Amino acid sequence: MLSSAGVRASLALAPLAANKGRVAVSVFAIALGVALGYAVQLINQSAAAEFAQALRVLAGDADVVVHGPRAGIPEALYPRIAALPEVAVASPVIEVQARLPGQREALKLLGVDVFRAARLQPDIARAEGGEPLDFLREDRLFLSRAAAAWLGLTAGDELALAAGEGRLALRVAGILSASALRERVAVMDIAAVQSALRTGPVVTRIELRLREGADPAALSAALERVLPPGVFAEDPGQSVERNARLTRAYRVNLAVLALVALFTGALFVFSTQMLSVARRRVEIALLRALGVARGGILRQLLAEAALIGALGAAGGMALGHLAAAAFLQRYGADLGAGTFAGLPVTPHVDPVAVLVFALLGVAAAVGGAYAAARTAVRAQPARALRAGDEHEALRSLEAAWPGAACLAAGALLAFVPAIDGLPIAGYLSITLLLIGTLALMPRLARVAFALAPQRRAASWRLALEQLRFAPGRTGMSLAAIVASVSLMASMAIMVASFRHSLQDWLDTMLPAQLYVRGGEGAFLADEALRSQWTVPGVARIEFLRSEQILLDVAHPPVTLLARDLDAARIDRSLALVGESRLPAPGAPPPAWVSEAMVDLYGMRAGDVVALALRGRVAAFTVAGVWRDYARQHGAVVIERREYARLTGEERAGNASIWLEPGADPDAVAAQVRSRMPAHAEVELVRTERIRELTLGIFDRTFAVTYALEAVAVLIGLFSLSASFAGLALARRCEFGMLRHVGMTRRQIGAMLALEGFAVSALGLAAGLGLGGVLAVVLVHVVNRQSFHWSMEIHTPWPTLAAFALVMLPLASFAAWAGARRAAGYDAVRAVKESW
């Protein structure tokens, strides 16, 4: 039956049905872009949610948490706090990192008073297996589900733990319910932990629940009177926030990477839509000729695009979800950065994010279609008969000022400081530099192709003429490849700079040949133990005491390093940035702060700062600033004798050993170990091993970003191929004519290959150049502001050259392959087409 509606429906749907392949490509393009962005978003979201959830569960229903330096707070505070009238429940917790034989990673062990912990978090007492008394026994512990799975243990199994100077032979009493503790953690009695691990009379934190109706402000005031320096009270929300900050910079970096990928995906969508509309010029002109209004055609094209976009977005979301799940499974919530070890993570679906990415997918499709369709529809049917019409539309792309303005703004933004601890201006700068470069691509193409040498061969001439004639078109074809290549190059330069600087830093920071690390609370440098270090082959030993101190509840704790060092030759011990100037006689003793202390706390050389050492406040003079890649939240180095003088604490947990020339590090290590008390769980590591490990972790961390970049580059290649296919389709009459006037197939192929090569070369050059600029912003702005450490730019020329050498033929091939298929269209028929 023939009806008006039926014909309309056919007009709308027939093109889709008739072009299943084209529709599939468009859907795939959108799906890929959406999948990338969505996957990274999901990973971020899940990581953050999981992390926050873990902390919430850990803190239970605590309203306030009292905590202090890593070394703990005096347990004598506990009854004083518990007795405050505003406090309903006070639950003391001691937390240690316990080592397990045969495991590199430590197990977080929580010592709790189950009577109190269960009042804050009733689920903690509901374990599978075990009996409540097991929560008190010195030889029993409970494992979280995650820890049990990690260790492959179940109720009744035995395990040995070591921490500090102590060892524990334990039996697993039961498995805690997942609602109690999500992360990889073990729980046992607080007294058992204190006594077996000889922690001394300290707890790590005290979790509080307010009495009903109590005034939190009154509690704060009361706590302020009770708490010694260096001990803080905060609500767990603050702690979640502070801990989220731990990983925020890393997550934001990933998110930006994902956005660049999504942007590349959108460019890909745009080129496939251009291709699609190009293929339908005839149809569009016919409809126009039949009297269908311009708006009608536009609406139809946009509706089609929206449908394609919706399909692509749905597919992309499914794909993204799978990818995210696989990544989380493989690498954990932080993509291998090691921040949330042991947290089992499944993707957290956020409806808002789903909606946003669905809309982004549809918007990319509709936007691409609109830009493409507008040029097709705007053409007068009669004008469309004249070849070359669409070039007119692209001429507007050649204006230089928008791109120049973007570049200028991007350059200025690189000098704006961090906003709320995030390098937002840096990212904006990168975005504007990218957009500016893309906008200037036509201009760049014009200049570049004008400079290209003239050759006699017809294919060469035609290729060049065609490129010179339509730089706007070239610019569009290149957008995705330039974006992805610049991303790749900038990341490569940033990573190389980082790695290079890290190596230099390791050289400075690890001058000794052997390093000794005691476990949590283990001490190596008791004067009484001096004799154990008099080993043949040892030339010199320096000790280091490390502890976490909290300077400001809004920031994660900073590391205090009390080291044996020569203050006059500090540059031998620390990777100084600038000079070290020792304080004048009579001024407080020197402290050297890491760059993060400058960024986060505003410390400057010459400042006098107050540090809480074991509950006592002491003043120090900032003598210099050093670079620290190990602790992005800040570190302060002071002289160990100064620390001992102020606190009376002589012991230290770490030592560096310099060897006599010719001494065998392994032999010395064995000797030192043999002189340690049998129970001492200390780790002796050769410097090379530390370097190896550090660089290994570094490489693993960035491995995932490489994968993301590779996908972006792949999309860039697809996009280039698609846009060349689109152009070739638009030019098929031209190829038909050229066949008629006597160009061989090979000549046409050569022409297309030359065009592909020239365009790819330009795209690569522009992408690499832009990548270099972006790398400078990444290194000096984004990284500095995110992680608070500086690095020297180091360009990995061989890597970039190899990348270019691989990419050039790949991109040329992608372009040629795209065009080739379109040009394969029957030349004889092509010339009969009038549009």
Partner 1 sequence: MKHRGAIGRRAFLALGAFTALAGQARGARAEPSYPVVRAGERLRFPRDHGAHPAFRNEWWYITGWLSGGRGQELGFQVTFFRNRPGIGEASASRFAPSQLLFAHAALCDATLGRLEHDQRSARAGFGLAQASREDTEVRIEDWSLARGEAGYTAKIPAREFTLSLQFAPQQPLLAQGEEGYSRKGPLPEQASHYYSWPQLRASGSVTQGARARSVSGVAWLDHEWSSEPLAREAQGWDWAGINGADGSALMAFRIRGRDARRFWAGGSLREAGGRVRVLEPGEVDFRPLRWWRSPRTGTAYPVAMAIEVPGRELTLAPLMDDQELDARASTGTLYWEGAVRAAGAGAPYGKGYLELTGYAQRMKL
Partner 2 sequence: MLSIRSVSKSFPGPRARTLLRDISLALEPGEFVAVVGESGIGKSTLLNLIAGLESPDSGAIELCGEKLGALGDDEATLLRRRHIGFVFQAFHLLPYLSVEKNVALPLVLNGVASAAIGPRVREMLGAVNLGDRATSLPAELSGGEMQRVAIARALVHRPSLVLADEPTGNLDPEAAAQVLALLRERIKADRAAGILVTHSRSAARTADRILVLSERGLSPAPAA
Which of 59, 69, 201, 38 is CA-nearest to residue 636? 69
CB 702 within 8 A of CB 495: yes
- 8 Å CB contact between 762 and 478: yes
Compute the least distance from the CB of residue 177 to partner 1, in Å: 14
Rg for the chain (alpha carbons), in Å?
Answer: 33
x/- letters, 372..411, toward partner 2 (CB under 8 A): -------------xxxxx-xx-------------------
What is the Cα–Cα distance from 170 to 341, expressed in whole angstroms? 23
At its nearest, how many Å lie between partner 2 and the CB of residue 338? Answer: 55
Q: How far apart are CA 666 and CA 764, in angstroms?
A: 50
User: Is residue 156 close enough to count as binding partner 1 by CB under 8 A?
Assistant: no
Residue with Cβ nearer partner 2 (70 or 391): 391
Q: Binding partner of residue 138 among partner 1, partner 2, none, CB under 5 to 8 Å per kind?
A: partner 1
248 binds, among partner 2, partner 1, none (CB under 5 to 8 A by kind): none
**Widest pairwise Cα distance in the chain:** 103
182 lines the binding site for partner 2 (CB under 8 A)? no
Give the torsion sign (CA, 91, 94, 99, 103): positive
Q: Which of 408, 370, 409, 372 is nearest to 393 (CA)?
A: 372
- Which residues have a Cβ under 8 Å from the Cβ of 809 and sit 6 or more positions away? none
- For the bound state, the minimum distance from the C-beta of residue 703 to partner 2, rounded and expressed in Å, comes to 45
Residue closest to 173 by CA, chosen among 193, 194, 153: 153
Identified binder of partner 1 from the candidate list 52, 56, 75, 700, rule CB under 8 A: 75
* DSSP secondary structure string for all residues of 708-750: HHHHHHHHHHHHHHHHHHHHHHHTHHHHHHHHHTT--HHHHHH
Choose the contact partner of 780 out of partner 2, partner 1, none; CB within 5 to 8 A by kind: none
Residue 805 binding: pick among partner 2, partner 1, none (C-beta 5-8 Å cut-off by kind): none
Written in H, E and C, the secondary structure of 625-671 is EECCCCCCCCEEEEEHHHHHHHHCCCCCCEEEEEECCCCCHHHHHHH
Mark 720-739 with x for binding to partner 2 (rule: CB under 8 A) and - for no binding.
-------------xx-xx-x
Among 21, 677, 742, 798, binds partner 2 (CB under 8 A): 742
278-293 per-residue burial string, b: 16 or more CB within 10 A, e: under 16: bbbbebbbebbeeeee
Size of the site for partner 2 (CB under 8 A): 34
How many residues form the binding site for partner 1 (CB under 8 A)? 23
Choose the contact partner of 468 out of partner 1, partner 2, none; CB within 5 to 8 A by kind.
partner 2
Q: Which of residues 421-480 bind partner 1 (CB under 8 A)?
A: none
The answer to whether residues 195 and 82 touch, using CB atoms and an 8 Å cutoff, is no
Structure tokens given for 10: 């056919």
* Residue 746 interacts with which of partner 2, partner 1, none, CB < 5 to 8 Å by class: partner 2
Helix (H, G, I), strand (E, B) or coil at 509: helix
Binding pattern to partner 1, positions 110-129, x when CB under 8 A? ---x-xx-------------
733 binds, among partner 1, partner 2, none (CB under 5 to 8 A by kind): partner 2
Spatial CA neighbour of 448 closest among 424, 428, 478, 420: 478
Q: Is 83 in the site for partner 1 (CB under 8 A)?
A: yes
Q: If we measure between CA atoms, which residue out of 211, 716, 759, 164 comes closest to residue 464?
A: 759
- Choose among partner 1, partner 2, none what residue 411 binds, the Cβ cut-off being 5 to 8 Å by kind: none
Whether the Cβ atoms of residue 656 and residue 526 lie closer than 8 Å to each other: no
Token pair, residue 79, equals 């009854």
Length of the chain measured in residues? 835
Tell me, residue by residue from 446 to 485, as one string, x for binding to partner 2 by CB under 8 A and - for no binding.
Answer: ----------x-x--xx--xx-xxx---------------
Q: Which of 32, 490, 41, 484 is nearest to 258 (CA)?
A: 41
User: Which of 12, 82, 306, 793 is the binder for partner 1 (CB under 8 A)?
Assistant: 82
**Is 566 one of the binding residues for partner 1 (CB under 8 A)?**
no
* Residue 387 interaction partner, one of partner 1, partner 2, none, beta carbon < 5-8 Å per kind: partner 2
Q: Which listed option, partner 2, partner 1, none, makes contact with residue 462 (CB within 5 to 8 Å by class)?
A: partner 2
Q: If binding is defined by CB under 8 A, does position 190 make contact with partner 1?
A: yes
**Residue ranges binding partner 1 (CB under 8 A):** 75, 78-79, 82-83, 92, 113, 115-116, 131-133, 136-138, 189-192, 194-195, 198, 201
Q: Point out which residues bind partner 2 (CB under 8 A).
A: 385-389, 391-392, 456, 458, 461-462, 465-466, 468-470, 733-734, 736-737, 739-746, 827-828, 831-834
